[in-house]
A and B are shown apart, each in its own frame.
Chain A
Amino acid sequence: MTDTPAIPARPRPFRPATTEPALVKWSLIGLCLAVLTVLLFAPLYAVFDEALRRGWAFALASLSEPDAQSAIRLTLLVAAITVPLNAAFGIAAAWAITKFDWRGKAWVITFIDLPFSISPVVAGLLFILMFGANSALGMWLVANGLPVVFAVPGIVLATMFITFPFVARELIPVMLEQGRAEEEAALTLGASGWRTFLTVTLPNIRWALLYGVLLCNARAMGEFGAVAVVSGKIRGQTTTMPLMIEMFYNEYLSVAAFTMAGVLALLALVTLTLKSALEWRYADQLAATHRH
């Protein structure tokens, strides 16, 4: 028996080590597109299609209703209060956790995640128990003309609770990876703690902070469960956009419901576009901050 070296009939085409055969590649891409279409594109299209079923004029008219106007204003107000506060709290928490060593740090990290693991409805009920008419604190607050439950302060509190983790969660990994050396360097060069924070820490985390704020904002505008419980859903007073959508829908005002939903989706799309635009505009800076 002779060993004849097997000569391939034709040379196989070169394929880079990290790619797959065309069949595998295209079926995976196709699968992704199918999932995205069913879960994302089609619903998004359906929202706008339903909203504009009777034309632009009709859709816009449903938005100019006083109740709808009030819901939009309330949602923007709540976001305008909660997002800056949670950005400040998130920075403070991430800074304390990543730049210092202290006892009980692991517990605090767990507590920051609490709003993610608690059902929003439960969170809402917590605020009712604390500030509601059945509690001493709640009675005192109402007597002094500052009702929390079924009023705007309750909505703000519930939204803050739900959106608290977003900024901190975005910042902690980035700040851990960057370490403390640059801050220490600034201090040895004579900078005060505050100056170090403003000129070294903050510029280094600005992208993570921006993402955190955008996510926080999207959730603050979209939060339903906790707000539904604490707001009491008083039309024109404590109804936010997500609550208004549900009300319209339950009243078979589907054009109004989907128009409002479209506005909410549009707000999200605008934030996403803004984020991509900034990423594109500052691509070189982003690369510089990550590489070094």
Chain B
Amino acid sequence: MNIDIEEISKDFGTTAALHPVSLSIPSGTLVALLGPSGSGKTTLLRILGGLEFPTAGRVLFDASDATGLSVQERRAGFVFQSYALFRHMTVFDNIAYGLRARPRRSRPGGPEIARRVNRLLSLIKLPDIGARYPSQLSGGQRQRVALARALAIEPRMLLLDEPFGALDAKVRRELRQGLRDIHDTTGLTTVFVTHDQEEAMQLADLVVVMSMGRIEQVGRPEDIRARPGTEFVREFISA
């Protein structure tokens, strides 16, 4: 799905989290929103997912206005920073949650839900953990379960907020490849937020460098590295 952001701005009280920003994301791209904390990258991601609403501007999904769509109507698979797994449910029930929440007429039956959950569990390469609770999983396993839960709703896009933030270096490298593989298999337009320039450069097709609520530069990783557009970008990517 193509995503177009047109002159989106967001104020929290008197402080502006986003100055009007515009961005075009072609269908099937893996995009990194890269910037230091307070740069507005998470706010932009939450606006795409329908968790925040912009003060002004429009969001277009495949050229139709999606600005007013509720969070449920967006069908965006969202992976939260601390994963936000439902702690009182097993992994199986976590992944099945979105399917069970569907209105009756589009809700799959029990066996079909089980089939889909098991398929997702093998996609994230954790086929045997369905009966466990989130507190019994490692950080990396939790992240993959959160990804499977987001994929279960057959999302139109995948949004990830610092998906590798809380993990150690080795697990981080593995999961990066995991996300790349899942993106390539599903072909979903994917946007992830990170403050780690190395991660953004290695993983993304398109990098959006942000600072102080503004977009500094948009480009392919090699182009940004070769020709940093501003002094900020030059400093940030050499850090």
Contacts and interface: CB of A to CB of B under 8 A. Distances in A.
A38 interface: no
B48 to A, nearest CB: 11
Nearest to A191: B101
A53 B98 CA distance: 64
A185 interface: yes
Contacts of B135: 287-288, 291-292
Interface stretch (B79-87, B170-178, B206-214, B231-239): B79-87
Interface stretch (B1-9, B33-41, B68-76, B194-202): B68-76
B101 A186 contact: yes
A190 B87 contact: no
B180 interface: no
Given A184-B51, A190-B98, A204-B87, A292 B80 contact: no
Number of contact residues on B: which range applies?
20 to 34
B102 A190 contact: yes
Contacts of A195: 101
Contacts of A192: 72, 101
A18 interface: no
A185 B87 contact: no
Given A203-B88, A204-B87, A285-B88, A189 B97 contact: yes
Contacts, number: 75
B160 to A, nearest CB: 12
Contact of B134 (A190, A200, A292): A292
A185 B80 contact: yes
Contact of A289 (B80, B88, B149, B153): B88
Nearest to B134: A292
Contact of A185 (B86, B102, B133): B86
A204 B88 contact: yes
Interface string A161-201: 00000000000000000000110111111111001000110
Interface in A273-292: 285, 287-289, 291-292
Contacts of B72: 187-188, 190-192
Interface in A201-239: 203-204
A170 B82 CA distance: 25
28 contacts: A181-B81, A182-B87, A184-B51, A184-B78, A184-B84, A185-B78, A185-B84, A185-B85, A185-B86, A186-B86, A187-B51, A187-B71, A188-B72, A188-B74, A188-B76, A188-B150, A189-B101, A190-B75, A191-B101, A199-B86, A199-B97, A203-B88, A288-B88, A288-B133, A289-B87, A289-B88, A292-B85, A292-B135
Given A185-B78, A191-B72, A199-B97, 8 more contacts: A181-B81, A184-B71, A188-B74, A188-B78, A189-B98, A190-B72, A190-B101, A292-B135
Interface of A: 181-182, 184-192, 195, 199-200, 203-204, 285, 287-289, 291-292
What are the 4 tightest A-B residue pairs by CB atom distance, in nearest-first order? A189-B98, A181-B84, A188-B78, A191-B101
